[in-house]
Structure 1
Amino acid sequence: MPLPTGAPRIALLTTFAMLAFAGNSLLCRIALRDTAIDAASFTSVRLASGALVLLLLLRRRGVRPLAAGSWPMAAALFAYAITFSFAYRDLTAATGALLLFGGVQLTMTSYGLAAGERLSGLRLVGVLVAVGGLVWLLLPGLAAPPYLAAALMLAAGAAWGVYSLLGRGAGDPTTATAGNFIRAVPFAAAMSLLTAGQTTSDPLGMFYAVLSGAVTSGLGYILWYAALPALSATSAATIQLCVPAIAALGGVVLLAEPITSRLLLASVAILGGIALTIVYGGGGKSSGAKKK
């Protein structure tokens, strides 16, 4: 059966891309919680699997593996991937996705302010509400996430924000993403050498890591970049607000993770505040093209 065209095709591509992005959080969490694989090994296998899938795609298109992308972008990609994995040792899928998304948007908003952008009106309100939501989520209490894990996930969001900012104007997104994944493999290999005596794994953990790299990362990016040309910058950024919600639902259904009142209220504040900054301030332009 042929794929639908026009608007139905874009809706289908976008839906599967958002499911893939949320799937990264779920796969990492379940692998580190329920299997023997360690965070460093998960990261290495994820990046290598993603690089392999994207390399095969480039070969089919007759494009050189390192035709686009850069080493600084690859370093930012690796920084995101490794802090993401270590953070998910102690965070639920929902909390991790929310902190990641908040970290990305706050990083890119901070860059905009440093570059001369001005916040006013509802955009300023949105930033204040989102920051307040993050502060509320991290306040001491029984429902607060572990501080080290939360800091690592915020660092992952910052790294992905840097990756997105570096990637603006990098050319064809798929070619650039492939080049960055391939360049990130040496970073992962060096990390594997440094942690060689401390790594653990099992077949199921390796399977989750390969699935995360090859499918929800590699193929997920391809689907998203196929849909992006048909979406406005604001629409692309706003659509991604559903990713933490999907991750939260998946965590409840698949991982039996609880949804606390603090997480629920913080989610409303953070995602609602980000939505205001995107819709009323043009903040979606830079985040829409590169978000995970």
Structure 2
Amino acid sequence: MSAARADAPVLDRIRVGSAPDSWGVWFPDDARQVPWRRFLDEVTEAGYDWIELGPYGYLPTDPAVLRDETARRGLGVSAGTVFTSLHHGPAVWDATWAQVSRVAALARATGAGHLVAIPSFWRDDRTAEELEPPELTAAQWRHLAEGTERLARQVREEFGLMLVVHPHADTHLDTEEHVTRFLDATDSGLVSLCLDTGHYAYCGGDSVALIRTYGERIGYLHLKQVDPGVLADVRAKGTAFGPAVRQGVMCEPPRGVPALPPVLEAAQELGTALFAIVEQDMYPCPPERPLPIARRTRRFLRSCGA
């Protein structure tokens, strides 16, 4: 692996990892995905020290088994991931907590400190069918803010984890306008963001500007880039996220936007330790494709000082 450039900053507060997503894993069980042992072997071979759990059930859900499998490869677990639809109000709380609690329990048992929460999609990510209006009502915004604060509080109290909310394409939390509205409506002492640089760029946002403006709310990073040419076509045609991924909208760094060195440098300047987990959406993909990309991406991030 290459060393950092002589002029690269020392990004000693950034802990770099990767995730099943970068191996084309979107589902707990899918014949087109690499087996979980292969993912763990290859993420280690690529030079990463940290992973996320990915979709619940892809990696072993027995904490003892998962701890053994990660420990013998020298891997730590940074976070688990859940999907929520809290804008629907108190009626969805019980189902939400049932899902969240099992993922949070596994995350805690494997030493993770974070839980990434992704809002539900407003349109089907395969067919582009509109499942609900793309804009929330005032009441739904209130439900989203209050429900997220409740979830963050309970996750912290019962599991000792920090909830980080992930703005995501084709959800109600996507653009700069929506993200800032959400941040302004929620308690900064409870609710933090998982800033995904690729999704934010996909939706027209500026990651560096967000970090500089709302730095105290950035609790976690996903490192990702979009191909501007493909994105322009996706926007022109109104393509849903799933087909856009198959079209190659998320690309290997440093080939896309945003440029990652300024993002990492802005994050370093916050003065707090942050995970920066590489994600390159590419479901489905040939099983031999992820490892070479992961190796090159890790070399690139080292050259940036991370």
TM-score for both structures, normalised by structure 1:
0.31
The structure richer in strand per residue is 2
The structure richer in helix per residue is 1
